[in-house]
Amino acid sequence: MKFFYLSSNPNKDGLHEIHDRECEYIPSSYERDYLGPYNSGKEAMRKALTIRNGVALCKNCCSTTVHSIISDLSE
Ligand SMILES: [Zn+2]
């Protein structure tokens, strides 16, 4: 179980990135929303999508590919 956070500021692609608590790229406490404890970034993304329209997994701490996430969510 990891603790996930959602960046309040969009990245260069206009997406809010999801990070786990240990990530070196996690935004400061003033620039992130706490998502909760999840087994994977993919589970955290389901929660994040209820907060923001455009979200993405951080490539550093969430290694699952974006393509597989989109196909899973559309089922
Ligand atoms: Zn990260």
60 alpha carbon to ligand 1 midpoint, in Å? 5
Q: Summarize the confidence of residues 9-29 as an average pLDDT.
A: 95
Reported as half-sphere exposure (CB side, CA atoms, 13 A), residue 39 has a value of 0
DSSP 26: P
Q: Which helix (H) or strand (E) holds 43?
A: helix 41-48
For residue 2, pLDDT beyond 80: yes
Average pLDDT score over residue span 33-49: 95
Residue 14 Cα to ligand 1 midpoint, Å, equals 16
User: What pLDDT was estimated at residue 73?
Assistant: 54
Reading phi first (left if > 0) and then psi (alpha if -120 to 50, else beta), residue 14 is in: left
**Least confident segment among 14-18, 28-32, 71-75:** 71-75
Rounded percentage of the chain residues whose pLDDT exceeds 90: 77
Ligand 1 ion local residues (Cβ < 5 A): 19, 23, 25, 58, 60-61
